[in-house]
Amino acid sequence: MNNNLSADSLSDNLIKRVNVGDMLTRTAWRMPGKEALIDISGNKERRLTYAEFNVAVNRFAHALLRLGCKRGDALVLISANSIEFLVTYYACAKTGIVCVPINLAWGEKEVAYVLQHCSARAIVAESQLLDLAGKAMSTVTTIRDIIIAPGTSDTSRPEQKEMGVNWHEFNELCKNEEPDELNCYVKDRDPISYLYTSGTTSAPKAVVSSHLAVYLESTTPPVVAGFSAKDRSAAMMPLFHTAQLNGVITPLVYVGGTAFLLRGFDPEKLLELISREKITHIFGLPMMYRMMLDHPNFKKYDLSSLRLALYAMAPMPDIDLRRAIDSFGCDFMLGFGQTEMNPLTTMFMPEHQLSHSGSVGTQIPNVQTAIMGEDGNLLPIGESGEIVYRGPHVMEGYLHNDKATAEAFEHGWFHSGDVGHFDADGVLWFEDRKKDVIKTGGENVASIEVERALYDAEERIGEVVVVGLYHERWGEAVTAFVVPKPADVGTLTPLHIQAAAKNCLDGFKQPKAVIILEELPRTATGKVQKNVLRDRYRDYYRTNLS
């Protein structure tokens, strides 16, 4: 709370502001007894109504203020999916503290960079992740308090004097705090979070997301995907990523739905949960749907409660999509966007899934999408260029990085770094990341075009990723990395795939080599790391052509 503010200015702010924490306050006000969170991520199931969820948030928010945290301070959150994760996020929102979720796939070096870069004031860490927090903060001088959230196991912690910080137990800190609402001044464009992108070629960039951006984005799924208080959603994707947090959870809280918090994906456990708890929608990666479909007990479970299956990170191959729609018996939708857009920009609607298979959908309310040429001019339908956006979903900028912010906002639009085009139906087709376009023999090849063609041409492919690798003659050579379907391991060969490519691709787009792998490198959110493949196999053609 800012004590320099007049009573009138604070009162005016509380009446008119746009604050993500107020979404929870209002939902708890109108439906206090409605189930909000069911945490089945640990050894013991925990259930909270909206009234209980809101009280837990208020108690923790009061505790943070009592510790001396204030509006604009950064609080780093190191936690898997749990009630405490969401209590922390909404407590930060109500107080104006900036929440900084940590990618749990990161190591000590990346975490230390984030702590230093955002000048972290406090840390909330699950007990089993204390070691990571302790090692990472050894050179950070701004941290005053570490709050230990209950986790899956207990880990010994360094002595308080050695670390120079105050240690607190999450539940102990909250139990004597008041449950009433907070009166804190928070502006609409104040940051609610710093979300650090996965730095593939440099240090991660911190996306500054405002309350206004997240609040308005949270109204989109209810409008375009029908989120409602009747929905019961399984949250298996990590909450530290904007897709699960702001693409699903904040919209669900906005309308008063119920979220089941899972610590990861297990195909049979998810199928059992859908059947037992009458889950109405799920959100996962294309590979997750394939794993459920291929599970030997798939037909044993009652999935009739499902009305919507959301997917993201990559389009679903047509053959898998048709099979999934038929087997799950519900609508499928793809959400397209990025962290800087908090995250949604287009939605691939159920009615387009089969007629425009492979696209990323149509424009949504609040986001204006266009295609821009290298000269900064907008391009007409059918022409390829960079996908750019305008609208209140857009980030405020990159923290402490004016140069990157200016580049991202050049020509009065936000630049996505994606290449695509609109067709005559107003459907957006993603062609590639600009950095992933392969320049081979003077021609540009979109890696995703080759991937789609190979999926369609060879049904024994489980997953395929295409990248450009250095080649003395071609500059970059189109190279395919393939994981066969389980039943075809050992029988699907590079020759089979190259033969299929000849029937569906122009000569310069055909892979110069096919490399069979057991698995593909991925981020914590399931995205394939093309940069890792490029680095790991950068000398492939030098070695094989010498």
Helices (H) and strands (E) in the chain, counts: 20, 26
Average pLDDT for 264-292 = 95
**Among candidates 38, 29, 107, 337, which has minimal Cα distance to 207?**
337
Q: What distance in Å separates the CA atoms of residue 76 and residue 133, rounded to the nearest whole number?
A: 10
> Can you tell me the mean pLDDT for 207-220?
98
Q: How confident is the model at residue 297 (pLDDT cuts 50, 70, 90)?
A: very high
Tell me whether residue 297 is exposed, middle or buried, using C-beta atoms within 10 angstroms of its C-beta: 0 to 12, 13 to 18, 19 or more.
exposed
Say what the pLDDT of residue 83 is. 97
Is the model's pLDDT at 314 over the cut of 60?
yes
User: In which residue are the tokens 């299956």 written?
Assistant: 309
- CATH class for the region spanning 367-431: mainly beta
Q: What is the mean pLDDT of residues 510-522?
A: 95
Ranked by mean pLDDT, the top range of 57-61, 132-136, 285-289, 315-319 is: 57-61
In this predicted structure, which of 46-60, 67-81, 431-445, 482-496 has the lowest mean pLDDT? 431-445
198 has a pLDDT exceeding 80 = no
3-class SS letters over 99-128: EEECCCCCCHHHHHHHHHHCCEEEEEEEHH
Mean pLDDT of 474-494: 94
d(CA 532, CA 542): 18
Residue 156 has pLDDT above 80, yes or no: no
Dihedral angle at the C-alpha atoms of 279, 283, 289, 291, nearest 10 degrees? -90
pLDDT tens digits, one per residue of 14-48 = 999 999 999 999 999 999 999 999 999 767 899 99
Tell me the pLDDT band of 199, cut-offs 50, 70 and 90: low
Residue 539 identity? D
Average pLDDT over residues 367-390: 97
From residue 400, give the alpha-carbon distance in Å to each of 69, 194, 202, 240, 413. Answer: 21, 11, 15, 21, 20
- SS3 assignment, position 445: strand
pLDDT, mean of residues 224-230: 98
State the pLDDT confidence band at 2, using cuts at 50, 70 and 90. Answer: very low
Domains 219-337 and 367-431 share a fold: no
pLDDT band at 139 (very low <50, low <70, confident <90, very high): confident
Any idea which of 155-159, 357-361, 389-393 has the lowest mean pLDDT? Answer: 155-159
- Res 4: pLDDT: 59
Listed ranges 32-46, 147-161, 185-199, 326-340; the one with the highest mean pLDDT = 326-340
How far from 399 is each of 161, 193, 207, CA to CA, in Å? 31, 11, 7
Domain 7-214 has CATH 3.40.50.620: no
Q: What is the pLDDT of residue 200?
A: 47
> E strands of 472-537, at which residues?
475-484, 513-516
- 69 pLDDT higher than 70: yes
Instruction: With a cut of 90, say whether residue 52 has pLDDT above it.
Output: yes
Lowest mean pLDDT among 28-37, 127-136, 265-274: 127-136
Looking at every residue in the chain, the average pLDDT score rounds to 93
pLDDT band at 484 (very low <50, low <70, confident <90, very high): very high
Lowest-confidence region among 122-131, 224-233, 336-345, 435-444: 435-444
Architecture of the domain defined by 437-545 = 2-Layer Sandwich (3.30)
User: Predicted confidence band at 201 (pLDDT cuts at 50, 70, 90)?
Assistant: very low
- Domain boundaries defined on the chain: 7-214, 219-337, 367-431, 437-545
The kind and range of the H/E element at 31 are none
According to the model, what pLDDT value does residue 174 have? 96
Q: Phi/psi of residue 495, each to 5°?
A: -65, -40
Please report the pLDDT score of residue 502 as a whole number.
95
Per-residue pLDDT, averaged over 197-221, amounts to 87
Among residues 368, 443, 365, the alpha carbon closest in space to that of 413 is found at 368
Residue 546: pLDDT over 80 = no
Collapse the DSSP code of 327 into the 3-class scheme (helix H, G, I; strand E, B; otherwise coil) and give the result.
Answer: helix
Q: What are phi and psi of 408, to 5 degrees?
A: -70, -30
Rounded average pLDDT over 197-212: 82
What's the CA gap between 124 and 101, in Å, rounded? 10
On the 0-12 / 13-18 / 19+ scale of CB atoms within 10 A, 307 is middle
The answer, yes or no, to whether residue 70 has pLDDT greater than 80, is yes
CATH of domain 219-337: 3.40.50.980
How many CB atoms sit inside 10 A of residue 136's CB?
Answer: 26
Residue 287 has pLDDT above 70, yes or no: yes
Q: Give the DSSP H/E element, type plus range, for residue 525.
A: none
| CA-closest candidate to residue 247, choices 322, 181, 313 | 313
Q: pLDDT band at 101, cuts 50/70/90?
A: very high
Token reading at 8:
């009138």
